[in-house]
Amino acid sequence: MTDGTPSRRRDSARSRELLLQAAGELFSERGFDRTTIRDIGERAGVDPALIARYFTNKSGLYTAVLRAEQGDATPPDLLVRDRLRALFERADRRGAGPVLRSAVQAEGDPVVHDAARAQMHARLVDPLRERFAAKGVDRPQLRAEVAVAAFVGVLLARGAGTLDELATADLLEEVLPLVSATLEGLET
């Protein structure tokens, strides 16, 4: 005989996971401000009131999405073989996510802005800064920030479609080598 607790616990975990997934997709597609709690609940197929239960509010959910995307491991820097390729492939599949968008657009909610900024630094800027500092290059922080801005700018410009050749060029065969060479140039 069972009292239903394990089933309820599994449902809670599943609902939480569905909310994280739906929110991640919607924040990537629309940004924080244009994503509603109702939209997230509908996409997840669960009651949107569960956002308050599991994450306190939409800002808390956003922060949880960023943490879930990052995981526990420290990511390699953009110049590590296959890191840049993996990020390009992910952005090509899902679009520029909230962390990448935070490089060019500040969110109105300070909690959201601070969370996205922290993730941008932890995932992209800090690993590059450490690489550049270890190599003894001048102004490693500035170089890391320029590299990340160039990378994010290419992804966002490509997605916007305003630069015709960039938008239609093969991402992995044509764009990736150019971006890689640009970033490697900052290492010297």
Q: Packing angle between helix 58-70 and helix 110-120, nearest 10 degrees?
A: 10
Q: Which of 153, 104, 99 is nearest to 126 (CA)?
A: 99
Residue 97 shares a structural domain with residue 141: yes
Residue at which a domain ends, from 56, 71, 86: 71
Tokens of 85: 């390729």
Residue 97 shares a structural domain with residue 135: yes
What one-character DSSP code corresponds to residue 84?
Answer: H
Residue 85 shares a structural domain with residue 175: yes
Q: What is the CATH number of the domain that holds 33?
A: 1.10.10.60
Residue 94 shares a structural domain with residue 59: no
Q: Which of 23, 75, 15, 86 is nearest to 46 (CA)?
A: 15
Alpha-carbon distance of 98 to 25, in angstroms, equals 10
Residue 42 shares a structural domain with residue 65: yes
Domain carrying residue 35: 1-71
Residue 103 shares a structural domain with residue 22: no
Residue 92 shares a structural domain with residue 165: yes
Residue 91 shares a structural domain with residue 133: yes
Tokens of 24: 């991640």
Q: What is the mean pLDDT of the chain?
A: 85
* pLDDT band with cut points at 50, 70 and 90 for residue 1: very low
Alpha-carbon distance of 2 to 102, in angstroms, equals 47
132-180 pLDDT tens trace: 999 999 999 999 999 999 998 898 888 888 899 999 999 889 999 999 9
What one-character DSSP code corresponds to residue 26?
Answer: H
9-38 pLDDT tens trace: 558 889 999 999 999 888 878 878 889 999
- 100 within 8 A of 32, measured Cβ to Cβ: no
Residue 23 shares a structural domain with residue 91: no
Domains of the chain: total: 2
Residue at which a domain ends, from 37, 71, 105: 71
For residue 71, is pLDDT > 70? no
- Helix, strand, coil in percent for the chain, rounding step 5: 70, 0, 30
Residue 52 shares a structural domain with residue 8: yes
- On whether the pTM is more than 0.75, the answer is no
- 52 within 8 A of 60, measured Cβ to Cβ: no
Mean pLDDT of 36-64: 91
Residue at which a domain ends, from 19, 50, 71: 71
Residue 6 shares a structural domain with residue 95: no
Residue 48 shares a structural domain with residue 93: no
